[in-house]
Amino acid sequence: MTKLPLEGIRVADFTWWIAGTMATRLLAAYGAHVIKIESTIQRDQIRENAQVQTGTASLNASPGFNGINPGKMSMTLNPKHPRGLEVARRIISVSDIVADNMTWGAMARLGLGYDDLVKINPAIIVLTMPVMGPGGPDTNFTGNGEQIAASAAMHHLTGYPEELGMAPGPVYPDWASNPYHAVTAVMAALYHKLKTGKGQHIVLSQYESVVNVTALPIMDYSVNGRVQTRMGNRSPYGAPHGVYRCQGEDRWCAIAVYADEEWEGLCRAMGDPEWSQGDKFGTALGRSENVDELERLLEQWTSARSAEEVMKTLQAHGVAAGVVQNGRDLLENDPQLKARDHYVRMEHPEIGSMAFDDYPFKLSKTPGRLSRHAPLIGEHNDFVTGELLGMSEDEVNELIIEGVLE
């Protein structure tokens, strides 16, 4: 099989929850040997979500954990135990990258901060992903994607004008901006190391990473002194622009019209109804000024058709339209994802067959791949202690008895 681009790179992965874990997931997909260092004492809370999602108390059954950790190994370790700290350092000594997304300073308090690690491994690359970066008044701020999105103004911009702000999807920053910014920085550091032999400390403020995707409101305020607020699904640049009810239970189609040519295409697709003719809706300004009436009339047409029919009909007339898909649509009905082989099914020892997202970028010469299911907790303790670190059976048994490998 084709050699993967990151083969030979080892990652000591102290991440948990989602943002950091998604970053190391990408590294694993492209060949990095990722060892997830976790603990049965202080568990990755997303492992415990299985109780809510599947009704089982097993730490290996969480769909959330399994979905974001394929291709990794799992090593259980109590880093607060003195000998646990020693084992962690030995793993880091034979690694290229150390990653964590804890509160700033948490790793240093364990004795695993960057200044400690360069003494063990001078060429180490350390990726630290705190909520806030060091040096400001909120350095020790704790939270997750929900709080980060709120702080970065995303909740203020998402939702309907008459309602409170809302989250733009579940923990949006953890899935969208933060892991990809992190991997980009890691790849730059690896390239630097390849050229110079020297590692680096990457400090990625998750808050600042998310602020990066709110550029338009910042520009609007900087240039116009205008504070953008919630508009629901509407747009200041065109109408109709939104999601419209279709046939069936909770079925919708997103439609966006900006140019007059697109409006004319929409009218033709609907059969040029009488209400669409005349001056009221004939210009972009008129459509925006009468948007409430326009949306009501448009929904009379969409609600009599399936979302798929609305999408295909409008697209055939040059109008941007797309079904508002749910999870079943994505996995079973989306022809584009099927043609791209986006979903990969793998067997898991406890939950059986599971569909995993493939990766959104594919390299022509060294494509990544999903190699194995997410690890069972502590599944690779023997490999790490024995084959990787060369510990004797007696030494490993001592660690087990002392509660180090927990």
Kindly list the catalytic residues.
Answer: 174
**In angstroms, rounded to a whole number, what is the distance separating the alpha carbons of residues 16 and 206?**
14
Strands 320-323, 252-256: pairing is antiparallel
The burial class, CB within 10 Å (0-12 / 13-18 / 19+), for 213 is: middle
- Comparing CA positions, the residue from 107, 155, 109 lying closest to residue 129 is 107
Contact indicator for 65, 46 with CB cutoff of 8 Å: yes
> What dihedral angle (degrees, nearest 10) is formed by the CA atoms of 147, 152, 157, 163?
30
Which residues sit opposite 34 in a β-bridge? 11
- Alpha carbon distance, N-terminus to C-terminus of the chain: 36
Contact indicator for 100, 124 with CB cutoff of 8 Å: no
78-85: long-range contacts at Cβ-Cβ below 8 A with a sequence spacing of 24 or more? 78/39, 78/41, 78/403, 78/404, 78/405, 78/406, 79/37, 79/39, 79/110, 79/112, 80/110, 81/402, 81/403, 81/404, 83/399, 83/402, 83/404, 84/404, 85/110, 85/111, 85/112
Q: Token pair of 110, please?
A: 């364990």
String of DSSP letters for 246-303: -SSTT-EEEEE--SHHHHHHHHHHTT--GGGSSSTTTSHHHHHHTHHHHHHHHHHHHT
**In angstroms, rounded to a whole number, what is the distance separating the alpha carbons of residues 111 and 80?**
9
How many other β-carbons are positioned within 10 Å of the β-carbon of residue 4? Answer: 19
221 alpha carbon, distance to own chain's centre:
28
In three-state secondary structure terms, 131 is coil
Output the CA–CA distances (angstroms, integers) from residue 244 to 120, 168, 172, 282, 305, in the order listed.
59, 19, 24, 21, 11
Contact indicator for 137, 111 with CB cutoff of 8 Å: no
Cis status of the peptide bond prior to 240, with omega within 30 of 0: yes
